[in-house]
Chains A and B, each alone.
Chain A
């Protein structure tokens, strides 16, 4: 029921069911809709406290109604992800909309978070249904398999799904220390089986500055 209207607008057809979307991201709707803010990302009190503590707070609203609702946010490109019981890891700021049936939570990402500028925690989405994630520019989906690990610039990483282990690796050497670094001193290495979403743009990260 999620479809793209161009590459930057998401259209969701609703027939009495609900979706969770980023607060304030509705641009237009047809039919009857109601919008309700879900305090603490809609995971109850425990989720709210976790999100406050981890800095992965996201303002989410629940949209219910009959008709078609259109979402967009700051002209970002939108990518649709279909989940079949697996887990999607995405930054809270890159998550636009999910089926109400999908569970969201927070997870610890380890050292990677510090270098990506995303913080030490990330948001997980799991269950069966669809989700829409945002990227600055059209995202590419890269497959990772056991023989082929993937290295990603922390600033260009937006999301991943599947059974993946991630490690932060650094290529810091004497050139970096004398200020002659290539700007590619840190990478995230993904190993296992799964998909990684990469955007053609880099956020400002600590890793990108050395």
Chain B
């Protein structure tokens, strides 16, 4: 089910019978046709265990299931929306940035510590992302929200990208990330450049960066 961008802050999705779709609860703006919205207590796919997992991981955003026959428009809080098409790879994104995604995508929760050990956990804390993040795998489209416009930066071997943790939105592909610090005596005396921490992304894939350093 592809998303069609109406403008930078609204997307339209086509819903056909037999295909489910998930969206953040309350993000529907308008719809045409016969479409039903059911609150999803489990907060996504995967049954009871996944739900408990998400609750514990604090990655449980209220989601709803969208089913039926018609078109639905989504938007939330005046945030910019960026549509990412996945073809078999995995997207890593914060749960509260997810606006809507295809039901065909496999949703999961990833522990930050599994990527980079203790530093991964520190990374989560520093970036304000917590210890867990949401993953989406498979073929389909995802609409993510960001404050300000989004730019996509490709990552290739030998072309590492450094991102300000506050401006990081999502990434996909075979990407390893680690927190790099550039702390010197200047930071210690309160004369820092404000760029003391950076996320270093290497591998092959892409990272999405927003034009702002504000959280949603």
Contacts and interface: CB of A to CB of B under 8 A. Distances in A.
Interface stretch (A29-37, A83-91, A156-164): A29-37
Given A28-B163, A74-B214, A75-B211, A6 B193 contact: no
Given A28-B151, A39-B191, 13 more contacts: A9-B151, A26-B195, A27-B212, A28-B161, A28-B163, A30-B159, A33-B162, A35-B195, A37-B186, A37-B191, A70-B153, A74-B212, A74-B214
B192 A37 contact: yes
Interface in A65-115: 70, 72-75
Nearest to B190: A37
A27 B165 CA distance: 8
Interface of A: 5-9, 23-30, 33-37, 39, 59, 61, 70, 72-75
Nearest to B207: A28
Interface residues of B, number: 27
Contacts of B207: 28
Which of B153, B159, B182, B191 gathers the greatest number of chain A CB atoms within 10 Å?
Answer: B153
Interface of B: 80, 147-149, 151, 153, 159-164, 167, 182, 186, 191-195, 207, 209-214
Contacts of A73: 212-213
A70 B209 contact: yes
Counting from the closest, the 6 A-B pairs by CB-CB distance are A24-B194, A75-B148, A8-B211, A27-B167, A72-B211, A61-B193
A203 B211 CA distance: 21
Contacts of B148: 8, 72, 74-75
A124 B13 CA distance: 49
A147 to B, nearest CB: 39
9 contacts: A25-B213, A28-B151, A28-B162, A28-B164, A30-B153, A36-B193, A70-B209, A75-B148, A75-B212
